[in-house]
Amino acid sequence: MVTEVEVRKALEGVMDPELHKSLIELGMVRQVRTEDGRVEITLALTTLACPLKDQIVGNVKAAVGALEAVGDVAVELTEMTDEEKRHIGIGVPEKGAVEDLNVIRRVIAVMSGKGGVGKSLVSGLLAMALRQAGHQVGILDADITGPSIPKMFFPDGAKLGMSPLGPMPPKSRTGIQVMSINLLLEQEDQAVIWRGPLVSGAIKQFWGDIFWGTLDYLVVDLPPGTSDASLTVMQSLPMSGIVLVSSPQDLAGMVVRKAANMARQMQTPILGLIENMSYFECPDTGKRHDIFGPSHAEETARRIGVPFLGRLPLDPEIARLCDAGRIEDYVSEIFSPIAQDLARRAPEAQRSTFMQMHAGQQ
Amino acid sequence: MVTEVEVRKALEGVMDPELHKSLIELGMVRQVRTEDGRVEITLALTTLACPLKDQIVGNVKAAVGALEAVGDVAVELTEMTDEEKRHIGIGVPEKGAVEDLNVIRRVIAVMSGKGGVGKSLVSGLLAMALRQAGHQVGILDADITGPSIPKMFFPDGAKLGMSPLGPMPPKSRTGIQVMSINLLLEQEDQAVIWRGPLVSGAIKQFWGDIFWGTLDYLVVDLPPGTSDASLTVMQSLPMSGIVLVSSPQDLAGMVVRKAANMARQMQTPILGLIENMSYFECPDTGKRHDIFGPSHAEETARRIGVPFLGRLPLDPEIARLCDAGRIEDYVSEIFSPIAQDLARRAPEAQRSTFMQMHAGQQ
């Protein structure tokens, strides 16, 4: 007969792959029941959306299954309380200094996984279209090491504003609020050589320590990849959903599917997929050239199972206006219907913590 | 008169901005000398290339300078020993399992800061040109969350090989060895949702736990950004130098300058700058279109103070071949002279640890 003590002893050897401590030490083992050869274990994970969940369960089953006299191991999963999480020093950050003063109705993150497909451009165009429709709009530039947004919106640079309630994002010509690490640097080309925890910390501050006031939409421009910045945004911000941006290349499609898989695992809704750099229309001949190869975006959207929202062309005029800080002068007839479509699909923020937090204010 | 005890007490309040512990606790305060109003402090940093060095010194001066009877504070910097670093659990990883069996003569990292400017393409073309010149060449795909290299080189996918000496990178059609996280995934579009430490760990394993054998050149394809992956490569691998890749947009130039500033701070030589996606030559009219705006790359190279190595056009044929896993069928007359130029500029690996490590073998 196996005992609870033996099981707990075996679990001392199973590490959380991210926290590098044993499940026992982390207090994740809620309950152990043994009956004849059967062992039932209840584990409290930091989050049920934990991408390494299967690995942890596998390791637990292997470690306990290796004990003599153990036939069957069942693992039930639950989630740690906020208190427990704080105790082991993760998640559930203290609320930001002015977080309670902000009312942010919808948070839409623009993501790709792949770099350089035009996430910042789509973020900018989306914010512009929503603003034109009369909404209060902000952009949170979550690309800490390669921020593009300020350069697109502020021809003469911009600085963080100050108010009695806290630091305020500067407003663009048409009234879009922008927060980016580059507003805090003395020179725009200073390198921000930070490892993940500092990157995550900055994003959380942009959310909770900045006085945004009331926003109908906050557009979050994510950096490439499925590492710290994306994780932090999906875990810590009350997401309405994400927009995926792809380019025609199949290679880009593969990386975008990774991003989609991440969103799925984090239980963040995907609002749809936009293809950027779809084609170049030669001004001399009017002919369309598939510079990045034939489009795979519709196929990618179908494979992921999300709406295909539309295509954007390669347009030298966009590059010119972005470089000049005058993206707001760009008239995109193509993007407006896409933005309206997106706005319709984005539900108001629904995560419980957020709703509780703002319940008294709305 | 201020005493050493008072100074050390004051330093207990100064935190290492990356390790989140006090300099005292980390054992960084080597020596404190006081004489009249003057205090001289010797700090041992984890690395003299520490990007936050100035901030640490500033904080030390502020904390000690605030003590009564202190007039002048001088801070001298030195580096921790490997032993000391291991003691606080950072840097100096244990040597990889087969690291001593590999002889890797030159390590060239391809970097941009910005995503989607063609780092992977340049990495591939560089490896191909070096291979054609008769060298033994490998590519280490350091983009853990958005790997592109395997798809470019292996039309039918590829798997890690096995040898008595350790896991071996698969070889491409022309004999280029390739290591990438995607060789380890069951499905190429699986998301790798890892925070920085896991990303860094994977890169270190690709370097030290993989049996590369003897390579004349290892090309490292870096992900965008100046965070964990870039830091780990620059800190842990014996770099010959980095190649910067930019695109014509001024916005890309700004982010590339960030990458250059990082390399400077990490004391990694920059071999030169390549502009990708420079122009599109219309097949019908032969006219060149500046699709991403007029080029700023020469200006960027001049501002950074590095050689400008050349321009690559936007070519639909490249996109097509990359998507088909047949990049090696691409004939780039433009790239060969660039690669030769680069090879000439890349010195053999010189970092002391590496030389010591391999001294007995060469």
Mean pLDDT of chain B: 89
Q: Is B19 on the interface with A (CB under 8 A)?
A: no
Query: Do residue B116 and residue A117 have CB atoms under 8 angstroms apart?
Result: yes
CA distance B96 to chain A (A): 19
Q: Is residue A167 part of a domain?
A: yes
A94/B236: higher pLDDT: B236
Confidence of residue B90 (pLDDT cuts 50, 70, 90): low
Asked if B297 and B275 count as a contact pair (C-beta separation under 8 A), the reply is yes
* Domain end call among B87, B113, B128: B87
Q: Do residues B37 and B124 both lie within one domain?
A: no
Q: Give the count of beta carbons closer than 10 Å to the beta carbon of residue A293.
A: 21
Q: Do residues B316 and B178 both lie within one domain?
A: yes
Asked if A151 and A325 count as a contact pair (C-beta separation under 8 A), the reply is yes
* Domain end call among A87, A114, A129: A87
Q: Do residues A272 and A298 both lie within one domain?
A: yes
Residues of chain B with Cβ-Cβ distance to A222 below 8 Å are: none
**Interatomic CA distance for residues A180 and A169, integer angstroms:** 9
Q: Do residues A115 and A264 both lie within one domain?
A: yes
Query: Do residue B225 and residue A319 have CB atoms under 8 angstroms apart?
Result: no
Asked if B123 and B139 count as a contact pair (C-beta separation under 8 A), the reply is yes
pLDDT digits (tens, 9 = 90+) for B277-330: 999 999 999 999 999 988 889 999 999 999 999 999 999 999 999 999 999 999
User: Residue B115 has which token pair?
Assistant: 């995503």
Asked if B114 and B226 count as a contact pair (C-beta separation under 8 A), the reply is no
Q: Spell out the SS3 assignment of B331-361.
A: CCCCHHHHHHHHHHHCCCCCCHHHHHHHCCC
CA distance B2 to chain A (A): 35
The secondary structure of residue A171, as a DSSP letter, is B
Q: Domain of residue A249: give its range.
A: 99-358
Best mutation target, B151, B254, B306, B317, to test chain A (most A CBs within 10 A)? B254
pLDDT at A197: 86
CA distance B277 to chain A (A): 10
Q: Do residues B120 and B239 both lie within one domain?
A: yes
Whether B5 has a pLDDT exceeding 50, the answer reads yes
Provide DSSP, A38-95.
Answer: EEEEEEEES-TT-TTHHHHHHHHHHHHHTSTT--EEEEEEEE--HHHHHHTT-SSPPP
Confidence of residue B357 (pLDDT cuts 50, 70, 90): very low
Q: Is residue A127 part of a domain?
A: yes
Residues of chain B with Cβ-Cβ distance to A319 below 8 Å are: 248-249, 291-293
For the domain that residue A227 is a member of, what is the CATH number? 3.40.50.300
Query: Do residue A113 and residue B199 have CB atoms under 8 angstroms apart?
Result: no
Q: Is residue B53 part of a domain?
A: yes
Q: Do residues B244 and B175 both lie within one domain?
A: yes
Nearest by CB to residue A115, choosing from B114, B291, B323, is: B114
Residues of chain A with Cβ-Cβ distance to B123 below 8 Å are: none
Q: Is A189 on the interface with B (CB under 8 A)?
A: yes
Q: Which residues of B209-235 are buried (b: 16+ CB within 10 A; e: fewer)?
A: ebbbbebbbbbbbbbbbbbbbbbbbbb
Residues of chain A with Cβ-Cβ distance to B191 below 8 Å are: 51, 113, 226, 258-262, 265
Looking at chain B, which residue has its C-alpha nearest residue A324?
B250
Q: Do residues A78 and A129 both lie within one domain?
A: no
* Domain end call among B34, B54, B87: B87
Q: Is residue A177 part of a domain?
A: yes
Query: Do residue A189 and residue B254 have CB atoms under 8 angstroms apart?
Result: yes
Q: Do residues A114 and A235 both lie within one domain?
A: yes
Q: Is B355 on the interface with A (CB under 8 A)?
A: no
Distances (CA, A) of A227 to A232, B147, B180: 9, 13, 16
**Interatomic CA distance for residues A74 and A65, integer angstroms:** 10
Best mutation target, A122, A323, A326, A327, to test chain B (most B CBs within 10 A)? A323
Q: Do residues B127 and B50 both lie within one domain?
A: no
pLDDT at A358: 39
Kindly report whether the global pTM for this prediction surpasses the value 0.80.
Answer: no
Best mutation target, B251, B266, B280, B299, to test chain A (most A CBs within 10 A)? B251
- Within 223-252 of B, beta carbons closer than 8 Å to A belong to 223-228, 230-231, 247-251
**Interatomic CA distance for residues A111 and B112, integer angstroms:** 19
Q: Do residues B141 and B210 both lie within one domain?
A: yes
**Interatomic CA distance for residues B21 and B24, integer angstroms:** 8
For the domain that residue A63 is a member of, what is the CATH number? 3.30.300.130
Query: Do residue B116 and residue A115 have CB atoms under 8 angstroms apart?
Result: yes
Q: Is residue A93 part of a domain?
A: no
- Within 85-114 of A, beta carbons closer than 8 Å to B belong to 113-114
pLDDT at A359: 37
Nearest by CB to residue B289, choosing from A248, A316, A323, is: A316
Between A and B, how many CB-CB pairs are < 8 A? 216
Domain count, chain B: 2
Smallest CA-to-CA distance from A185 within A151, A137, A221, A155 is with A151
Q: Is residue B288 part of a domain?
A: yes
Q: For each of chain A's 362 residues, which pLDDT tens digit applies?
A: 788 889 999 999 898 887 778 899 888 998 899 888 899 999 998 887 777 888 899 999 999 999 988 989 999 998 888 777 777 766 555 678 788 889 999 999 999 988 889 999 999 999 999 999 999 999 999 999 999 999 999 999 999 998 888 899 999 999 999 999 999 998 999 999 888 888 999 999 999 999 999 999 999 999 999 999 999 999 999 999 999 999 998 888 899 999 999 999 999 999 999 999 999 999 999 999 999 988 889 999 999 999 999 999 999 999 999 999 999 999 888 899 999 999 899 888 644 344 334 333 33
Q: Do residues A204 and A79 both lie within one domain?
A: no
SS3 B225: coil
Mean per-residue pLDDT for B133-162?
95
Q: Do residues A9 and A148 both lie within one domain?
A: no
Q: Is B161 on the interface with A (CB under 8 A)?
A: no
Q: Is residue B94 part of a domain?
A: no
Residues of chain B with Cβ-Cβ distance to A284 below 8 Å are: 282, 284-285, 287
Query: Do residue A228 and residue B196 have CB atoms under 8 angstroms apart?
Result: yes
Query: Do residue A189 and residue B261 have CB atoms under 8 angstroms apart?
Result: yes
Q: Is residue A94 part of a domain?
A: no
Best mutation target, A198, A254, A321, A330, to test chain B (most B CBs within 10 A)? A254
